[in-house]
Structure 1
């Protein structure tokens, strides 16, 4: 664990997990286990909590490369879903993250016949996103950047597609404010949905975000995901 980036055991575990996801995205190696490389298993409660923070991005390399995820990563993500369900008064972003973790597990690693399923969780409401000011909209979409993946329709993704110009404005604002994590999340959404103004220069913008904020593996994760999705759309 790189303690220079860890202000707490949880922050360190999140940093390590995000780093391993980035390495897998860059290498395309779907056989490696993200959790195993980060020293996390089903009995590591701090690690399980870190997976709850990373969310479904734990399986992002498999999602974007279209390959089966490592069973160890599936088991840890499933444990995180079971151990940390959202409370009734949880923020909407937390509910959406939980829903996306479950839907990703069901899509990428359906249980074998006779095995216990993770369970169901109704898709949360997203009407609040439709009326949110563009600044708040960009902030919330950045928090929900793990939902910005292909072939995973949701009300959040539809809201993003309907407000691509607002997301582009938010991307520029985040860059100007040097909020690299928010900029990377917004850029990931724009790469996933398309429709951004041609004058935005998203590719160059993402290069700058990575240059300035890429020391944070969460920033690097979103930027790499954005590039992979943009490349897939261009093919």
Structure 2
């Protein structure tokens, strides 16, 4: 299979898995298995999708404050074995894996913020918190650079998960609001949805974004296209807002 065909296979698997998670969030108040099929073992593309979505697989459980179903926990473990973290992974991929690992280790029973793994070397990319070098680099980002980075990290924008990027989202709501507005003007709706997700998280934690988020969400639901992953970002953003503004889920 060519690289292009393989990438297409993986992209389709990510969309299918995002659609299953989305269905859980939209159609039920109780978590249901979002990954596993009892009658069909996960293939390589399906396991790759599990690793790519990572923290998003916990979204139904986090909102419902229930444990992730055991078959899904096993699928996540299999995905991390099949696609282990690599030294050449991007910083965003390392943080995504670190968040997945923290959620697996902590459980999702609700009540306390999910911590990142402790400092020190490990399978998920080193220190649990941002080091001084990373903090210094982050402080120098323009609003455009910050928006691009945070859009790539959108799977980390979840309730009860706390770390440096969740804190930065609250500190830099103006930059992220500018990034979301720019994405809307460019009709880059997937990026706008990811940034609105961060802004909804920041709003749920007391920050004040410079956008009317319910109106932006309505616009994106109308014009954002039919992709399951973008719809998942918008649904999570709506759920985050629901507790603070009465926004629709």
TM-score, with structure 2 as normaliser: 0.80
* Aligned position for 1:213: 224
| 1:40 CA drift (Å) | 6.5
Q: What secondary structure does 2:36 align onto?
A: helix
C-alpha contact 1:30 1:70 (8 A) present in aligned 2: no
Residue number among 158, 164, 167 corresponding to 1:155 in the alignment: 164
Aligned partner of 2:53 in structure 1 is 54
User: As a proportion of its length, which structure holds more helix?
Assistant: 1
State whether residues 145 and 185 of structure 1, in contact with CA within 8 Å, keep that contact through their aligned partners in structure 2: yes
Partner of 2:140: 131
Matches within 5 A, 1:3-14: 8-14=8-14
Indicate if the aligned counterparts of 1:99 and 1:124 stay in contact, CA closer than 8 A: no
Q: CA deviation at 1:123?
A: 2.1
User: Is the contact made by 2:31 and 2:61 (CA closer than 8 Å) also made in structure 1?
Assistant: no
- Counterpart of 1:115? none
Q: Distance in 2 between matches of 1:31 and 1:145?
A: 21
Which residue pairs with 1:18 in the alignment? 18
> Counterparts of 1:174-189 in structure 2 under 5 Å?
174-189=183-198
Is the contact between residue 142 and residue 185 of structure 1 (CA under 8 Å) also seen in structure 2?
Answer: yes
CA RMSD of aligned residues (A): 2.4
- String of CA shifts for 1:51-81, please: whole Å, max 9, x gaps: 1111210121111121122211111112222
Equivalent-residue separation in structure 2 for 1:19 and 1:38 (angstroms) = 18
Partner SS, residue 68 of structure 1: coil
Match of 1:66 in 2: 65
C-alpha deviations, 1:80-116, integer Å up to 9, x for none?
2233232223211011111011011112269xxxxxx
Relative to structure 1, the CA distance from residue 203 to residue 168 in structure 2 (aligned partners, 3 Å threshold; closer, same or farther) is: same
Matching of residue 30 in structure 1 with residue 30 in structure 2: yes
Q: Which runs of 5+ in 2 are unaligned?
A: 1-5, 110-121
Contact 1:170 1:186 in 2 (8 A): yes
Q: For residues 193 and 138 of structure 2, what CA distance do their matches in structure 1 show? A: 19
2:33 and 2:69 in contact (8 A); partners too: yes
Look up the SS of the partner of 2:181 in the other structure: helix
Aligned equivalents of 1:55, 1:69: Cα separation in 2: 12
